[in-house]
């Protein structure tokens, strides 16, 4: 591949994902200036390693891998150990069958069974909840729920088994829903009281 | 009688043949994430389509994801960042 072909391929396969990489970087770094640096560094590294990229395959997850590695090195370099410790996900096994029913749904099933309360929550609060997730959960949720990557690609990008990806997604989503539910209750969008027999039309 | 029907048809609370509520809810995330094979996904969908107990839980999860996507959607890459990246690539290209 000559340089012109390399550039054309990079434009059509990598640069088209700039919005996605920026969104990912912003949620990782939590700060627009750092996200800008991350995006620039990610694409420069991708350009310099383009020969290693197999054309037509998983460019987005490859870029996310680079972006995340750059971010983790950035965190190390700036010695933000405290933040790293704070954002470590707890070591917990996947829940067994007892947790199949979503506890948020259990709390809202009488008054808001389909989760309408999510629509009442402002963007800033949703973003804050994402940013407060441990890095491992945040990365999995961003890659899956926002960017739609399959488990196998997330596993490859984050260098963990698929089972761990599933576990991180499960816990990340449940934690997010809990935070958003509590916010909705606090703001009065949801009534946390259990439904009475009268309200259910009994008696 | 109810138990017999459930045993015969493998159905859930809705007295239908097919996948049980427990199994469908266990596969809910994998279903929404597009990780199931077509046959299993079809069975899960068939259950959620008709089960009054499970459908709201599917809807809640869909609503939740939509809300996440909406909140993040406005974070497109700023033009200034895009221009910086393109300029840096251009410079690297010229150097080669």
Once rounded to an integer, what is the mean pLDDT over residues A11-33?
Answer: 93
ipTM confidence score: 0.79
Our measurement of the distance from residue B87's CA atom to the centroid of its chain's CA atoms, rounded to an integer in Å, reads 38
Written as six digits, the tokens of B3 are: 């138990």
Q: Tell me the per-residue pLDDT of B15-44, one tens digit each, with 9 for 90 and over.
A: 445 889 999 999 999 999 999 999 999 999
Please answer whether residues A10 and A50 qualify as being in contact, where contact means their C-beta atoms are separated by less than 8 angstroms.
yes
Contacts (Cβ under 8 Å, ≥6 apart) of A104: A115, A174, A177, A178, A181, B60
Residue B77: closest C-alpha in chain A = A19
CA–CA gap between residue B14 and residue B21 (Å, rounded): 9
Residues 6+ apart with CB under 8 A from A124: none
Is the pLDDT score of A162 beyond 80? yes
Average pLDDT score over residue span A101-108: 75
Percentage of chain A modeled with pLDDT above 70: 83
Q: Contact, A29 vs A72, CB < 8 A?
A: no
Kindly give, in sequence order, each residue whose CB lies less than 8 Å from that of residue A147, ignoring residues fewer than 6 positions away. A20, A23, A24, A60, A64
Mutate: best of A114, A143, A163, A168, partner B, most B CBs <10 A? A114
Kindly tell me the burial class for residue A116, based on how many C-beta atoms sit within 10 Å of its own C-beta (0-12, 13-18, 19 or more): middle
Which of A101, A145, A169 has its CB closest to that of B68?
A145
Q: What is the mean pLDDT of chain B?
A: 83
Confidence of residue A69 (pLDDT cuts 50, 70, 90): very high
Q: So what's the pLDDT on residue A5?
A: 83
Residue B95 has pLDDT above 50, yes or no: yes
- What is the per-residue pLDDT for A163? 95
pLDDT-derived band at A142, boundaries 50, 70, 90:
very high
Interface residues of chain B, partner chain A, Cβ below 8 Å: 22, 25-26, 29-30, 33-35, 56-57, 59-61, 63-72, 74-78, 80-82, 84-86, 88-89, 92-93, 96
pTM, rounded to two decimals: 0.81
The closest CB to that of A109, out of B25, B33, B56, belongs to B56
Chain A positions in Cβ-Cβ contact with residue B93 (cut-off 8 Å): 3, 7
Q: Number of A:B CB contacts under 8 A?
A: 123
**How many Cβ atoms from other residues are within 10 Å of residue A106's Cβ?**
10
């Amino acid at each position: 591949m000559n340089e012109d072909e390399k550039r054309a391929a990079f434009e059509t396969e990598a640069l088209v994902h700039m919005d996605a990489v920026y969104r990912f970087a912003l949620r990782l770094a939590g700060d627009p200036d750092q996200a800008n640096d991350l995006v620039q560094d990610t694409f420069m590294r991708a350009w310099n390693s383009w020969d290693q990229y197999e054309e037509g395959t998983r460019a987005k997850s490859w870029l996310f891998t680079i972006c995340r590695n750059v971010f983790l090195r950035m965190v190390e370099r700036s010695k933000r150990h405290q933040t790293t410790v704070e954002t470590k996900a707890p070591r917990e096994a996947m829940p067994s069958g007892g947790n199949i029913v979503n506890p948020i749904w259990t709390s809202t099933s009488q008054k808001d069974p389909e989760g309408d309360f999510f629509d009442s929550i402002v963007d800033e609060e949703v973003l804050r909840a994402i940013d407060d997730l441990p890095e491992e959960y945040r990365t999995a949720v961003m890659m899956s729920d926002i960017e739609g990557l399959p488990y196998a690609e997330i596993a490859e990008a984050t260098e963990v088994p698929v089972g761990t990806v599933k576990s991180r997604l499960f816990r990340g989503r449940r934690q997010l829903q809990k935070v958003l539910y509590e916010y909705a209750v606090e703001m009065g969008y949801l009534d946390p009281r259990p439904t009475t027999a009268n309200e259910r039309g009994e008696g | 009688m109810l138990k017999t029907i459930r045993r015969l048809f493998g159905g859930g609370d809705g007295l239908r043949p097919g996948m049980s509520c427990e199994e469908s809810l266990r596969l809910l995330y994998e279903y929404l994430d597009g990780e199931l094979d077509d046959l299993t996904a079809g069975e899960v969908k068939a259950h959620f389509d008709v089960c009054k107990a499970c459908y709201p839980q599917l809807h809640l999860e869909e609503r939740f994801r939509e809300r996440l996507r909406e909140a993040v959607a406005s974070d497109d890459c700023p033009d200034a960042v895009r221009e910086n990246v393109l300029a840096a690539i251009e410079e690297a290209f010229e150097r080669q």
